[in-house]
Amino acid sequence: MLFNVWRPLPLLIFSLVFIQNLIAVPLLISFQGQVLKDGRPFEGAGSFKFSFIDSNGQVVWRNDGVVAIGEPAESIQINVSRGVFSVVLGDESIANMAALNVNSFNQDNISIRVWFNGGGQDFDLISPDTRITSVGYALKAKSVEEIPNNIVSEASLSSDLKVKIQSISQLEQETAGSKEKISILEGKVSLLETATAKISTLESKIAALELVTAKISTLEDEIAALESGASQLGGVFTSVNPVEPGHRKIHTFSADSWSSLAIQNAPSGRFGHASVWNGSEMIVWGGEYAANTYLKTGGLYNLAANSWSDVTPLDAPIARSSHSYVWANGELLIWGGISAAGPSNTGGVYKDSTKSWRSISVNGSPSGRYGNGTVWTGSKMLVWGGRNNTGLLNDLFVYDPSTDLWQEIVINNNKPIARYLSSVVLVGSNKAVLWGGVSVSGALGDGAVITLNNGIPDSSAYVSVNMVGAPVPRRGHTALSIDDKMIIWGGGKNQSQLYSDGAIYNSVD
Statement: residue 115 has pLDDT above 50: yes
In one-letter notation, the amino acid at residue 217 is: S
If you average pLDDT over residues 85-110, what whole number do you get? 89
**What CA–CA distances, in Å, run from 64 to 115, 127, 136?**
13, 20, 21
320: left (phi over 0), alpha (psi -120 to 50) or beta: beta
State pLDDT tens for residues 324-359.
999 999 999 999 999 999 999 999 999 999 999 999
More confident residue, 184 or 458: 458
More confident residue, 28 or 182: 28
Judged by average pLDDT, the poorest of 234-238, 253-257, 432-436, 444-448 is: 234-238
Give the whole-angstrom CA distance, residue 273 versus residue 458: 31
Instruction: Look over the chain and give the mean of its residue pLDDT values, rounded to a whole number.
Output: 83
If you average pLDDT over residues 426-450, what whole number do you get? 94
Phi, psi for residue 47 in degrees, rounded to 5: -105, 130
Q: Give me the count of residues in the chain.
A: 509
Statement: residue 367 has pLDDT above 70: yes
Q: DSSP class of residue 181?
A: H
Statement: residue 128 has pLDDT above 90: no
Query: What pLDDT is recorded for position 24?
Result: 47
Residue 367, H or E segment: none
At the fourth CATH level, which superfamily is domain 370-509?
Answer: Kelch-type beta propeller (2.120.10.80)
Query: What pLDDT is recorded for position 150?
Result: 54
Query: What pLDDT is recorded for position 102?
Result: 83
How confident is residue 443, by pLDDT bands cut at 50, 70 and 90?
Answer: very high
State pLDDT tens for residues 311-326.
999 999 999 999 999 9
The residue among 316, 375, 86 whose CA lies nearest residue 384 is 375
Query: What pLDDT is recorded for position 132?
Result: 80
Class of the domain covering 3-140: mainly beta
State pLDDT tens for residues 138-163.
444 443 344 445 545 666 566 777 77
pTM above 0.85, yes or no: no
Statement: residue 264 has pLDDT above 90: yes
The residue among 463, 459, 464, 334 whose CA lies nearest residue 397 is 459
Query: What pLDDT is recorded for position 121?
Result: 82
Statement: residue 220 has pLDDT above 80: no
Query: What pLDDT is recorded for position 417?
Result: 96
State pLDDT tens for residues 42-70.
999 999 999 999 988 899 999 999 999 99
**What CA–CA distances, in Å, run from 279 to 89, 276, 327, 428?**
36, 9, 11, 22
Query: What pLDDT is recorded for position 63?
Result: 96
If you average pLDDT over residues 207-220, what whole number do you get? 79
